Structure 1
Amino acid sequence: MAENVCLNSIKDIIARTGLSRSTVYEEMDSGRLRSVKVGRRRLIPESALIDYINSLIGATTQTADFE
């Protein structure tokens, strides 16, 4: 049986993260923020958003260790 997946729109991601629209698209284009295409829309799975935020937290922690 298929698992239910929560998908977020670009507007949802902007509202939740405070990132600009262009930054969200840059992060998706680079592969740092995974997305799926559904019809003409790009949607971000909740798990991809969590992974993206965790990667930012990890990068911040590693940078702080060097100071």
Structure 2
Amino acid sequence: MTATTAARDHSAATQRVPVVRAFRFELVKVFSQWRIRLLLPACWVAPAVFVAAVSRQSTLPVDTLFGRWMHATG
């Protein structure tokens, strides 16, 4: 009986961590990695650079599957 009482007292003494605090901790861990700091801006800039490069071309490449698809879909 004392083992059950001690286990109950121990579980009652522990406090749950708030979700916001745990989420903030995980965000700090992720953004402290230098690769993420470089990858996130690259993911934002790369599509814009690609669209700018394709829009400056006078004709689309028709010898590739992607070029034929771009020509067909506009």
TM-score (norm 1): 0.34
Q: Which has the higher strand share?
A: 1
Kindly name which structure, 1 or 2, has the bigger radius of gyration based on alpha carbons. Answer: 2
Q: Which has the higher helix share?
A: 2
Determine which structure has greater relative contact order: mean sequence separation of CA pairs < 8 Å that are 6+ residues apart, divided by chain length. Answer: 1
Normalised by the length of structure 2, the TM-score is: 0.32
